[in-house]
Structure 1
Amino acid sequence: MPELRVHRLPMAHPGDVSALAALLEAGTLRASEIRAVIGKTEGNGGLNDFTRGYFTQSLLLLLSRRTGEAPETLAERIPCVLSGGTEGVLSPHYCVFAVQPGDAAGEGLAIGTAFGPPVAPGDVGHGAQIRRVAATLRAAMRDAGIADPARVRLAQVKSPAGGPGQLLCSVAAGALGVAVGLGEISAAAAEAALLEDPSVFSERASASAGVEVLRDEVVLFGTAAGWGGGLRLAVRPMADALDLGAVQAAFRDVGLAPDPDVPPDQRGRIAAVLAKGEPDRSGRVRGQRHTMLGDTDLEAQRHLRGALGAVIAAVAGDGRIFVSGGAAHQGPPGGGLVAVIARDEGVGA
Structure 2
Amino acid sequence: MKVNVYKLPQNSPDDLTSLEIAITSGKINPQQIVAIMGKTEGNGCVNDFTRGFAVQTLKNYLANFVGQEQAGAIVYVMSGGTEGALSPHLTIFTSQPSAPNIPTRMGLTLGVIHTRDFTAAEIGSLTMVREVALAVNQAISVAGIAKNDVHFIQIKCPLVTSRDRLLEENYDGKSVSKSVTSYQSMGYSRGASALGVAVALGEVQLEDLTAADICQNYALYSTVASTSAGVELRNCEILVLGNAPTSTSDFVIGHSVMQHALDAQAVSRAIASTGQTSDRVVNIFAKAEADPSGELLGRRHTMMDDSDINHTRMARAVVGAVVASIVQDPMVYVSGGAEHQGPSGGGPVAVISRID
Normalised to the residue count of structure 1, the TM-score between the two structures is 0.91
Q: Report the Cα offset of residue 75 of structure 1.
A: 5.0
Instruction: Tell me the amino acid that sits aligned with residue 155 of structure 1.
Output: I
Q: Helix, strand or coil for the counterpart of 2:116?
A: strand
Alignment partners' CA distance in 2, 1:108 and 1:306: 31
Contact 1:180 1:190 in 2 (8 A): no
Q: Aligned ranges for residues 1-349 of structure 1 at < 5 Å? A: 2-67=1-66, 69-70=67-68, 73-74=69-70, 76-100=72-96, 101-102=98-99, 103-146=102-145, 148-163=146-161, 164=182, 165-191=184-210, 192-257=212-277, 262=278, 266=279, 269-345=280-356
Q: Report the Cα offset of residue 225 of structure 1.
A: 3.5
Alignment partners' CA distance in 2, 1:58 and 1:321: 22
Alignment partners' CA distance in 1, 2:5 and 2:309: 34
Alignment partners' CA distance in 2, 1:98 and 1:110: 10
Contact 1:116 1:132 in 2 (8 A): yes
Contact 2:154 2:239 in 1 (8 A): yes
What is the aligned length? 331
2:169 is matched with none
Alignment partners' CA distance in 2, 1:75 and 1:140: 19
Deviates more, 1:37-46 or 1:191-200: 191-200
- Deviations for 1:158-203, whole angstroms, at most 9, x for unmatched residues? 1111221311000000000001111222223233531221111110
Alignment partners' CA distance in 2, 1:140 and 1:195: 25
Instruction: Tell me the amino acid that sits aligned with residue 156 of structure 2.
Output: K
Q: Helix, strand or coil for the counterpart of 1:226?
A: strand
Alignment partners' CA distance in 1, 2:150 and 2:206: 19
Alignment partners' CA distance in 1, 2:284 and 2:89: 11
Q: Helix, strand or coil for the counterpart of 1:202?
A: coil
Aligned-residue identity in percent: 37
Alignment partners' CA distance in 1, 2:105 and 2:320: 35
Alignment partners' CA distance in 1, 2:86 and 2:24: 28
Contact 2:63 2:71 in 1 (8 A): no
- Deviations for 1:21-75, whole angstroms, at most 9, x for unmatched residues? 11111111211100100110000001110111111111111111112x12xx235
Q: RMSD of the alignment, in Å?
A: 1.4
Alignment partners' CA distance in 2, 1:141 and 1:55: 27
Contact 2:276 2:355 in 1 (8 A): no
- Deviations for 1:109-143, whole angstroms, at most 9, x for unmatched residues? 11100011112234200100000100110121122
Alignment partners' CA distance in 2, 1:156 and 1:203: 12
Contact 1:149 1:183 in 2 (8 A): no
Instruction: Tell me the amino acid that sits aligned with residue 294 of structure 1.
Output: D
Q: Helix, strand or coil for the counterpart of 1:215?
A: coil
Q: Is there any run of 5+ residues in structure 2 with no aligned partner, and where?
A: 162-181
Q: Report the Cα offset of residue 226 of structure 1.
A: 2.2
Alignment partners' CA distance in 1, 2:203 and 2:9: 36
Q: Report the Cα offset of residue 151 of structure 1.
A: 2.3
Alignment partners' CA distance in 2, 1:157 and 1:138: 13
Alignment partners' CA distance in 1, 2:72 and 2:60: 14
Alignment partners' CA distance in 2, 1:62 and 1:202: 35
Q: Helix, strand or coil for the counterpart of 1:315?
A: helix
Instruction: Tell me the amino acid that sits aligned with residue 79 of structure 2.
Output: S
- Deviations for 1:256-288, whole angstroms, at most 9, x for unmatched residues? 44xxxx4xxx2xx22221000210111110111
Alignment partners' CA distance in 1, 2:231 and 2:208: 28
Contact 1:21 1:62 in 2 (8 A): no
Alignment partners' CA distance in 1, 2:149 and 2:260: 26
Instruction: Tell me the amino acid that sits aligned with residue 255 of structure 2.
Output: V
Normalised to the residue count of structure 2, the TM-score between the two structures is 0.90
Q: Report the Cα offset of residue 144 of structure 1.
A: 0.7
Instruction: Tell me the amino acid that sits aligned with residue 291 of structure 1.
Output: T
Alignment partners' CA distance in 1, 2:34 and 2:309: 35
Alignment partners' CA distance in 2, 1:27 and 1:256: 27
Contact 2:255 2:271 in 1 (8 A): no
Alignment partners' CA distance in 1, 2:268 and 2:190: 27
Contact 2:3 2:249 in 1 (8 A): yes
Q: Helix, strand or coil for the counterpart of 2:115?
A: strand
Alignment partners' CA distance in 2, 1:299 and 1:104: 49
Contact 2:154 2:226 in 1 (8 A): yes
Q: Report the Cα offset of residue 296 of structure 1.
A: 0.8
